[in-house]
Structure formats: C-alpha cells, structure tokens
Amino acid sequence: MNTWHVNVGFNASASFAEDAVFDIGAELEHLAAVLSVTQDLNAGTVALTIDAESWTEALEEARIAVEGTLQSHEIDASVTTITIQSEQAFQDELHEPVYPQVVGYAEIAKMAGVSRQRVRQLAEKKNFPRAVIRTAQGPLYSVHAVERWLESRQSAGPFVTQTKTA
C-alpha cells in the first residue's frame, strides 16, 4: 500500500452555501481533506491523502469521493483537474522554498567578479534582469536570471565598456 496526495479541482454550476464547505470537509475528514474555494463559492479544490496500491486507484478513489460528497450536498459540479503525487514527491515539494532564490548587489558582484558599484551601474542597463523583490536594502534579483545574464555577458566579451579612441 502506498500513500498518494491528490488534488481535485471542480467547478459548480451555481454558488453553494458557505456551510457546505465545512460539511464537505467534515465528510471527507477520513481522507485528511483540505478544501479551498473561490470567493464566489462556485469552484474549488479538495486536497486528499489516499492509501492505495497504485496511482490510478488513488485517483479514482479521490474522484469518486469528491464527486459523491458534492452530490450528497446537492452541488452540481464537474471535476476540472486532478493532480496526484507520491508521498516522496509530496515531501520533496514541501522542502522546496516558496520564494525564488534571490541575490542582491553584493552576491552579484561576487558572481561576476566586479565591485558592487559596478553591479549598480550594470543594473541600470536595459538588458539586466528585473528585480523580483524590492527591500529597504535594495533590489533582489532571481539568481537564475542573473546567472543567464552573466552567461550572455561573458560570451559577449569583458565587463568593461570599451571606447573607441582616435
């Protein structure tokens, strides 16, 4: 027997009662259900934990449980999405950071082998990556975007601007 984590998305033909959300959660409690619904109460997602031999069995059990519970509460809904993960994939995802890896001027300077002042100058150029977060200490950039930008800069030539002299 394996543990599977299944998310079932659904759309309802009409808004349902707010109390129904709590009732559905209670009815699916044996599957460790967590519900999230849209503000207008006409769509949502149910996250379930299911023990089954295979992912196909887990998927079918989740679909039947969600559809049956919605119908028992007189909610006319159709399943729109189903995603499934093994226990290991679920745990791996939990360990991934929620926010992107970011770097500031000091880290970029170290990566590029230049001063922080030079990085500030380079950041003003149009082809420099956009900041993904702005803090009181300054902008933060996606480390992956900066790495790609550095690769393109290194293939284009040195970091110093060459001027033509007569």
Q: What are phi and psi of 101, to 5 degrees?
A: -70, 130
CB 83 within 8 A of CB 90: no
What is the rounded CA–CA span in Å between residue 160 and residue 157?
9
Domain residue limits at 77? 2-94
Residues 152 and 81 in one domain: no
Residues 12 and 79 in one domain: yes
Residues 86 and 139 in one domain: no
pLDDT of residue 64: 96
What is the rounded CA–CA span in Å between residue 34 and residue 25?
7
Q: What are phi and psi of 143, to 5 degrees?
A: -60, -35
- Considering the domain boundaries, does residue 77 fall inside one? yes
pLDDT of residue 162: 45
Residues 58 and 25 in one domain: yes
Strands 34-37 and 43-52: antiparallel
Q: Render each residue's pLDDT in the chain as its tens digit; 166 residues.
A: 999 999 999 999 999 999 999 999 999 999 999 999 999 999 999 999 999 999 999 999 999 999 999 999 999 999 999 999 999 999 999 998 888 899 999 999 999 999 999 999 999 999 999 999 999 999 999 999 999 999 998 765 555 544 444 4
Number of domains in the chain: 2
What is the rounded CA–CA span in Å between residue 128 and residue 113?
16
Residues 124 and 88 in one domain: no
Can you give the pTM of this predicted structure?
0.64
- Considering the domain boundaries, does residue 164 fall inside one? no
pLDDT of residue 109: 96
